[in-house]
A and B are shown apart, each in its own frame.
Chain A
Amino acid sequence: MSWLFSFIWSSLGRKLLMALTGFCFCMFLVMHLFGNLMLYGGRDAFNGYAEKLHQLGVLVTVFELGLLTFGIIHVLTGSILFYQNFAARPVRYAVRASGGGQTLGSATMPYTGFLVLVFVVFHLIDFHFADRTNATIYDIVSTAFHDPFHLATYIFVMIVVAVHVSHGFWSAFQTFGLNHVKYMPLIKGLSLAFAFVVGLGFGFIPIYIALFRGQ
């Protein structure tokens, strides 16, 4: 199986790993967003949803472990790539300018990625591992979003996530070799739309809760 290792561990293999795991995270974001939409239904709707989810039992654990594995792969591979890319240019340019190829997303991938990683850790501590003996998940979320610092952080990070996926989404297609003159404009459009939906979809929920829902 040494061929498999050579395949995966080549620059292109790693790029495929990034694309594959990244694309799965995009799908996860869609699911997560659907779940979060329950917050608009109020306390009972959201808590009900959370309960239903936990009833899935071992499936949830498997899914979580899967996410964790993908997360580790995405972060580790990304870190290696970041280091290698940095090392590929030992002397930096005195003047950097763009010929028009790069976007905000593509130019900042490692940095937005790092921010998202830090956020995810805090996010999990905040909500996933929160002490739920005295409060429902809705209460925890609601309390958090009534704190201005929390609110601002979440909104900011959702913009960061949107920027990250604005490049990541279409980039995955390119990496899979799916670049076609007819479909690429569509995929790029979809990528922006996806970023917009993710940013707005996740970003508006804290605002909604802070403004329209009491604690």
Chain B
Amino acid sequence: MKKSIDLTLKIWRQERTGEKGRFEIYRANTISQDMSFLEMLDVVNEELTKEGREPIAFDNDCREGICGMCGAVVNGRPHGPEKGTTLCQLHMRHFSDGDTLVIEPWRSRAFPVIKDLVTDRIALDHLIQAGGYISVNVGSAPEANSIPVSQHHSDKSMDAAACIGCGACIAACPNGSAMLFIGAKISHLALLPQGKPEAARRAIRMVKAMDQLGFGNCSNITECQAECPKEIKIVNIARLNREYVKAYLVSEEK
């Protein structure tokens, strides 16, 4: 059970945005299989530091799979090979002695590389700013139970709201599309009565923002759904499509 393994890592190194990057090869020896993937990188970084070399930059924070900060593409798979798992929750027992791991940052025009495996995902904030909210000021809310929501709708809304904003859907999509991300937000809010008044405006604006930010177009390949660490489904994209058509063809919103 308590086995340690040796790995070869091919990691993308890039000094800053716009600069040319390259792969460099590192050895990660006697890695305990109880380690998480990021702890394995910690060990490599400690050694690099001691050797006087610059450690590998990678984003991470909560290390319990909820903040959405971490993420890299491991052997072609965002967040690595395990289903429904963020990189920080991926453990080394899923790898074998002698494996070679190619580790790359999210690749998308909308996510420029800041350094090594760190990308700038501010575009996701811009998407939410376009309409991923309900316009309510503090103080004006009605009593909580005056807005009943069927358990079914509430559950489906929660399924969509579970998005952690990591960007793996965009990294996984062969087209680099952000449809699952905005589909999840639009579904989360469209399924609730509180979100209905702004539904049309929200759909139009979020899609517009997505188009302007340099994301690709959805062609229903469903890699996003397969790689989402929170297993958010493409039914949310279908709901976005409905909301969008409704917004343009039924509502008076432009």
Contacts and interface: CB of A to CB of B under 8 A. Distances in A.
Contact of A88 (B73, B215, B222, B234): B215
Nearest to B247: A7
Interface in B121-154: none
Contacts of B174: 85, 102, 107
A142 interface: no
Contacts of A135: none
B211 A89 contact: no
B177 A88 contact: yes
Interface of A: 2-3, 6-7, 10-12, 14-16, 18, 81, 84-85, 87-102, 106-107, 109, 167, 170-171, 174-181, 184
A90 B242 CA distance: 31
A2 B221 CA distance: 31
B219 A94 contact: no
B116 interface: no
6 contacts: A16-B241, A16-B245, A88-B214, A93-B73, A97-B75, A175-B220
Nearest 3 interchain pairs by C-beta: A97-B76, A177-B242, A88-B216
Contacts of A175: 220, 241
Contacts, number: 138
Contacts of B225: 101
A177 B110 contact: no
Contact of A174 (B76, B107, B237): B237
Given A81-B219, A88-B214, A107-B221, A174 B77 contact: no
Interface residues of B, number: 52
Given A2-B254, A81-B219, A87-B109, 7 more contacts: A89-B109, A94-B10, A99-B223, A101-B225, A109-B219, A167-B220, A180-B235
B75 to A, nearest CB: 5
B88 interface: no
Interface string B178-219: 000000000000000000000000000001101100111111
Contact of A94 (B104, B175, B217): B104
Given A89-B107, A99-B77, A102-B174, A177 B222 contact: no
A40 B242 CA distance: 43
Contacts of A89: 107-109, 176, 216
B85 to A, nearest CB: 11
B244 A179 contact: no
A34 to B, nearest CB: 28
B207 A10 contact: yes
A112 to B, nearest CB: 12
A12 B207 contact: yes
Nearest to A175: B241
B223 A101 contact: yes
A3 B244 CA distance: 13
B223 A92 contact: no
A88 B108 contact: yes
Contacts of A177: 238-242, 245
Contacts of A92: 107
B117 interface: no
B102 interface: yes
